A = this chain, B = another copy of it.
Amino acid sequence: MKPISIGLLGLGTVGSGVIKIIENHQDKLIHQVGCPIVVKKVLVKELGKARAVSIDPAILTTNVEEVINNPEIDVIIEVMGGVEQTKEHLLQAIRNKKHIVTANKDLMAVYGGELLTAASDNGCDVFYEASVAGGIPIIRSLVDGLSSDRIKKLMGIVNGTTNYILTKMTEEGLAYEDVLKEAQELGYAEANPASDVEGLDAARKMVILATLGFSMKVDLADVKTTGITMVNEEDLHYAKQLGYTMKLLGIAHRDGDDKVEVSVQPTLLPKAHPLASVSNEYNAVYVYGEAVGETMFYGPGAGSLPTATSIVSDLVAVVKNMRLGINGSYAVAPQHEKNLKDPEEIYSKYFLRIHAKDEVGVFSEITSVFTQYGVSFEKILQLPVKEKGLAEIVVVTHKASLKNYEEILMQLRDLNAIKEIKSSYRVEGSANA
């Protein structure tokens, strides 16, 4: 049987992992797809560099045209990263009737729609399982496994770096800066960690998940995003005391009326929530379906081999489709128009930590602001602070609309009795939606 030829764009750790898996599992792959899989051309930045895998130098090239315009190549695996130029390369490859497997979340979050439409027009597949939660087959679970359900909520710990940092801060009581430094030394965080710690990486993944899960195009600009740079060890201490664990959580929620919100922010979860025990660099996606109820998918979010495994699984799916002549037929365009919730429709509990003057009547002054907006408290904690004359007040509210909550914060800031609003986090309530 004629082999299937692959063109690989990029030969970093993930690209090397793909080559290793294709070589080591050739027998199993032949058993699954009925023909050998051969890597034909590999785009690299530099020809002479030492490699983690032994590879025939003749198949390396620094010219992308030799891959995307190569008539012998059936499938392009894109692991080079980048957005604008990479999109152009892949569109060109699609016009050349090549199928695409990509791990590029930045690309898929922004141009996923465009690429999928082009692919559909050209009878090509675009698979992107590895773009979200590297080793977890969440994309195909949403596409196939939960296809007959109506998904109400997707919550994801989809960034390993920040989950590692928050886990260490919680377990060892360390400060953010110290853990970040350690994570950088260990290679868990990049030298420039902004995209991770500011939540952008997680936001991109939530765009991909929400678009798919709700069958509605969501844009990156629609995701209200807050990172973990302002989280401090005191917050984590109080969270623990109140029975919560802090996670950088992506939340995508739709109501009965099909209005959607998507956000990423440090969030307190009750300890019994399935996501609360997802630690260190692990990722997990929690899916609440109307019929199925609670499910969760857990695994490594990154790493060369987990990511490469997802890529090769996608490759197997593409090759099976090729053998069956059905490429491009599984892509389903979003069913719903974009329909985002307004701030008065987004409901949540909140954790709020305040430094107030330790005087008679202060607490009642604070509570009266909440009462004005019909918001009551679930938990209250008041302690003296070292600084004389100040009280530390921690409250967890019952559900409030985002609009009301933001107005409450504004009013509190104006109160004479309040010295500082130290921190404020979203709290996810019970385990179900």
Q: Using CB atoms and an 8 Å cutoff, list the residues of chain A in contact with chain B.
A: 17, 21, 25, 28-29, 31-32, 129, 135-137, 140-141, 144-150, 215, 272, 274, 277, 279, 282, 289, 291-300, 303, 305-306, 308-310, 312-313, 315-317, 320, 324, 326, 329-330, 332, 335
Contacts and interface: CB of A to CB of B under 8 A. Distances in A.
Contacts of A292: 135, 299-300, 305-306, 309-310
B313 A324 contact: no
Contacts of A330: 320
Given A31-B215, A146-B309, A293-B306, 18 more contacts: A25-B150, A29-B148, A31-B335, A135-B289, A135-B292, A136-B295, A140-B141, A140-B144, A141-B145, A144-B317, A147-B312, A148-B312, A292-B310, A294-B298, A294-B300, A295-B297, A296-B299, A297-B297
A298 B300 contact: no
A141 B137 contact: yes
Most buried by B among A137, A282, A317, A324: A137
A25 B289 CA distance: 13
A357 to B, nearest CB: 42
Given A144-B140, A315-B148, A306 B291 contact: yes
Contacts of A150: 25, 28
A25 to B, nearest CB: 6
B309 A148 contact: yes
A274 B279 CA distance: 9
A317 to B, nearest CB: 6
Nearest to A276: B277
Contacts of A279: 272
A211 to B, nearest CB: 15
A301 to B, nearest CB: 11
Q: State the number of copies, please.
A: 2
Contacts of A299: 292-296
A137 B144 contact: yes
A147 B313 contact: yes
Nearest to A274: B298
Contacts of A149: 21, 309, 313
B335 A329 contact: no
Given A137-B145, A146-B137, A297-B297, A305 B291 contact: yes
Contacts of A312: 147-148
A31 B135 contact: no
A332 B30 CA distance: 12
Nearest to A312: B148
A170 to B, nearest CB: 14
B329 A324 contact: yes
B295 A295 contact: no
